[in-house]
């Protein structure tokens, strides 16, 4: 019997994502001037206020208040009527130095012996149902909001948009797990005041269905375009008026959108958030590494769908173990345990080896903090960072290195594919 599966996304203006972006902007700035920085920072945003807290061990000094303001303005919170804007909000910093007791388990005489920054398990997932090896419902949810943000910044076809928004996509699958059609789409977007509420709802609904969705569909592969039809159930701003939003409407915290950040409910999640953590924290680095493994396994033809788990003990160099689940989609006679053994031989999962393989000591993290950490485009960009003393540095930074298919040939050789 056919079944439905749903995933959601939230925009860069969602309060939790505002917090994530501020935390990751701090990470990038610390790493830009001191690649060995150890950072774990949390952000809280609410009406007219930002609170920064956490632990840092770094040789550099930053104006963290200005970094927070610049991030907020870049997102689009630039007007006093939003009750939260980068130029006027208060910014309180309670960041202090990292504990020596934590640091002693991570830093060793040799970098190769670097211990895990914490205990826990991390998961990576990949599926061949999309070109970027991501679950389709989540991929579409992200695309809807990135296109909505483009429309907001263009301020031409739709001129009333504010930064906060959410999306959700429900897909009907066949018994053999093949997407059949889009069943429902939910879009809630913050907007300016309208003179009449009923006219507002009618216009927003029409603009989302007739302007936004066609722009999204036009950028999709033909096979995915075919899943859209005239029978889709749309819920556009289903609660009605949505003028009060962002951190004024809801308090935001770093790390509260971990399913949006990963696979939209597919696969599994170890529970650890990413944003605000430097790569010595395996919550982040090992989650990226397991995504890299899963994607290369699927691309190489080891399975149509793969879940990879790795686990660590704090301060211990080697992982506790690697687990593989191919959901019965491996086309040749090999157990998941045998696949896991080969994976452990191909991929070095020691924390420092992950950092080196994926270049995780680069200031690459601001771009991850909205619209998902996985399934994104691997590219190199130029980024400039400034210190309070006027010193600035411009770096070429490779983004989303865990999305590279650079191990496909090694996997094929190991599995004799």
Work out the pLDDT band at 194, boundaries 50, 70, 90. very high
Residues in binding site for L-methionine = 55, 98, 250, 281
Residues in binding site for Mg(2+) = 16
State the Cα–Cα distance between residues 28 and 313, nearest whole angstrom: 26
Where in the chain are the domains?
3-9+136-245, 120-128+280-415
Query: 120-128+280-415: same fold as 3-9+136-245?
Result: yes
Q: Would you say domain 120-128+280-415 falls under CATH 3.30.300.10?
A: yes
CATH class of residue range 3-9+136-245: alpha beta
For the chain, what percent of residues have pLDDT higher than 90?
Answer: 92
Whether residue 112 is predicted with pLDDT greater than 80 in this model: the reply is: no
pLDDT tens-digit readout, 21-49:
999 999 999 999 999 999 999 999 999 99
Q: Which backbone phi and psi does 42 adopt, to 5 degrees?
A: -115, 150
- Residues 369-395, mean pLDDT to the nearest whole number: 96
75 and 163 Cβ atoms separated by less than 8 Å: yes
Work out the pLDDT band at 116, boundaries 50, 70, 90. confident
Work out the pLDDT band at 122, boundaries 50, 70, 90. very high
Which of 132-136, 143-147, 205-209, 312-316 shows the lowest per-residue confidence on average (mean pLDDT)? 312-316
Work out the pLDDT band at 118, boundaries 50, 70, 90. confident
What is the reported pLDDT for 6? 98
What is the reported pLDDT for 107? 57
Q: Name the more confident of 108 and 183.
A: 183
pLDDT tens-digit readout, 383-409:
999 999 889 999 999 999 999 999 999
State the Cα–Cα distance between residues 20 and 253, nearest whole angstrom: 7
Residues in binding site = 14, 16, 42, 55, 98, 164-166, 241-242, 250, 256-257, 273, 277, 281
What is the reported pLDDT for 195? 87
Residues in binding site for K(+) = 42
What is the reported pLDDT for 110? 63
Computed over every residue of the chain, the mean pLDDT equals 95
Residues in binding site for ATP = 14, 164-166, 241-242, 250, 256-257, 273, 277
What is the reported pLDDT for 103? 52
The DSSP H or E segment spanning 50 is strand 49-57
- Residues 230-253, mean pLDDT to the nearest whole number: 96
What is the reported pLDDT for 253? 98
């Amino acid at each position: 019997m056919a079944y439905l599966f749903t995933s959601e996304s939230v925009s860069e203006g969602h309060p939790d994502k505002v917090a994530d972006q501020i935390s990751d902007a701090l990470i990038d700035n610390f790493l830009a001037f001191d690649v060995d920085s150890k950072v774990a920072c949390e952000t809280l945003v609410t009406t007219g206020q930002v609170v920064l807290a956490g632990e840092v061990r770094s040789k550099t000094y930053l104006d963290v208040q200005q970094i927070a303001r610049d991030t907020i303005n870049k997102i689009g919170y630039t007007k006093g009527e939003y009750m939260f804007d980068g130029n006027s909000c208060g910014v309180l910093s309670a960041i202090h130095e990292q504990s020596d007791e934590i640091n002693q388990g991570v830093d060793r005489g040799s970098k190769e012996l670097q211990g895990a920054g914490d205990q826990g398990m991390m998961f990576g997932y990949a599926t061949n149902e999309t070109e970027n090896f991501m679950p389709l419902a989540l991929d579409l949810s992200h695309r809807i909001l990135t296109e909505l943000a483009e429309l907001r910044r263009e301020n031409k076809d739709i001129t009333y948009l504010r930064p906060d928004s959410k999306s959700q996509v429900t897909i009907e699958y066949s018994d053999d797990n093949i997407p059949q059609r889009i069943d429902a789409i939910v879009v809630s977007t913050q907007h300016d005041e309208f003179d009449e509420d009923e006219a507002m709802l009618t216009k927003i609904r029409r603009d989302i269905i007739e302007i936004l969705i066609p722009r999204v569909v036009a950028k999709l592969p033909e096979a995915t375009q075919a899943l859209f039809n005239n029978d889709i159930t749309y819920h556009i701003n289903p609660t009605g008026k949505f003028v009060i939003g962002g951190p004024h409407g809801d308090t935001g915290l770093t790390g509260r959108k971990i399913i949006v950040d990963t696979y939209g409910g597919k696969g599994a999640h170890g529970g650890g958030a990413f944003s605000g953590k430097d790569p010595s924290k395996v919550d982040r680095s090992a989650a990226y590494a397991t995504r890299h493994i899963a994607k290369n396994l699927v691309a190489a033809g080891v399975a149509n769908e793969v879940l990879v788990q790795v686990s660590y003990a704090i301060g211990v160099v080697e992982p506790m173990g690697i687990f593989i689940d191919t959901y019965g989609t491996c086309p040749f006679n090999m157990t998941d345990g045998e696949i896991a053994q080969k994976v452990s031989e191909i991929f070095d999962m020691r924390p420092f080896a992950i950092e080196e393989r994926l270049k995780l000591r680069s200031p690459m993290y601001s771009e991850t903090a909205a619209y998902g950490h996985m399934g994104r485009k691997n590219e190199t960009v130029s980024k400039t960072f400034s210190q309070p003393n006027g010193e600035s540095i411009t770096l070429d930074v490779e983004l989303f290195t865990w999305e590279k298919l650079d191990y496909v040939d090694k996997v094929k050789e190991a599995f004799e594919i």
